[in-house]
Amino acid sequence: MFSGIVEEYAKVVRVVKDQENLHLTLTCSFVDELKIDQSVSHNGVCLTVVSIENNTYTVTAMKETIERSNIGLLKEGDKVNVERSMMMNGRLDGHIVQGHVDQTAECVEVREADGSWYFTFKYKFDKAMAQQGYMTVEKGSVCVNGVSLTVCEPDVVDGKGYVSVCIIPYTHDNTNFKYIEVGTQVNLEFDIIGKYITRMNQLIQ
């Protein structure tokens, strides 16, 4: 479980395809603190550390993860938002993030606004899934590439969902949001609390 408060971005140093799996080797400042079998969020995807050597660590993504997320698009040199799992004796500064990406979205607008940035993303809207909580609401929470953000201006147009988020300078400079441009594919995880509330309402009706 994560909070969506990204620690830093890691650099991809090697990508190896192994049948339907993908092995990613990365480097970051806290490699020496990692342990084998530890969970780390990569662009919002929970992946397990399988090896550590020479100031790098390797994680493995399986077929379903590759199909649901932008992990399969990563290449050497790319920057990936990383966060180690939550310690349950501290404050929850973001929101509850599982690390189970629901789908990808495409950036359709980047707009600077007096020092901050507005990013708008387009995603496939499925009414049946929305009825199960796979949607965004005004001032609700959404996780974009592993970053916990507040939703503004959610909309649905012609079967496509749209969600905008505002990024402060610190988040822009310390995550891979600085590299997102129109056309970039990002990972979305909808709020798990919203999913539970939606499901509970369905069961008690």
**Cβ neighbours of 76 (radius 10 Å):** 11
3-state helix, strand, coil in the chain (%, to 5): 20, 45, 35
pLDDT at 1: 84
pTM of the model: 0.91
23, 37 contact by CB (below 8 A): no
pLDDT at 114: 87
Domain termination residue (choose one: 51, 84, 117): 84
pLDDT at 17: 95
pLDDT at 45: 97
Is residue 122 pLDDT above 80, yes or no? yes
Mean pLDDT, residues 162-169 taken together = 96
Is residue 205 pLDDT above 80, yes or no? no
DSSP three-state, residue 63: helix
98, 146 contact by CB (below 8 A): no
H or E element that contains 79: strand 79-84
The pLDDT mean for the chain works out to: 93
**Cβ neighbours of 158 (radius 10 Å):** 5
Query: Per the domain annotation, does 94 fall within a domain?
Result: no
Query: Per the domain annotation, does 1 fall within a domain?
Result: no
pLDDT at 143: 96
112 plus 196 within the same structural domain: yes
109: nearest Cα among 97, 122, 98, 99: 122
Question: In whole angstroms, what is the distance from residue 183 CA to residue 77 CA?
Answer: 19
Query: Per the domain annotation, does 132 fall within a domain?
Result: yes
- What residues have CB less than 8 Å from 90, skipping those under 6 apart? none
189, 97 contact by CB (below 8 A): yes
pLDDT at 200: 85
Please, which pLDDT band fits residue 94 given cuts at 50, 70 and 90?
confident
> CA triplet 4, 113, 70: central angle to 5 degrees?
40
Owning domain of residue 116: 103-204
Please, which pLDDT band fits residue 146 given cuts at 50, 70 and 90?
very high
Mean pLDDT, residues 160-174 taken together = 95
What one-letter code names the amino acid at 29? S
pLDDT at 92: 76
Is residue 39 pLDDT above 90, yes or no? yes
Percent of the chain's residues with pLDDT above 90: 77
pLDDT at 96: 86
Is residue 88 pLDDT above 80, yes or no? no
The 10s digit of each residue's pLDDT in 44-67 is: 999 999 999 999 999 999 999 999
Query: Per the domain annotation, does 197 fall within a domain?
Result: yes
Mean pLDDT, residues 102-106 taken together = 97
107 plus 80 within the same structural domain: no
Indicate which CATH number applies to the domain containing 164. 2.40.30.20
169: nearest Cα among 118, 119, 116, 120: 116
Q: Which residue has the tokens 């929970």?
A: 46
pLDDT at 77: 97
59, 48 contact by CB (below 8 A): yes
Q: Report DSSP state, residue 201.
A: H
Query: Per the domain annotation, does 55 fall within a domain?
Result: yes
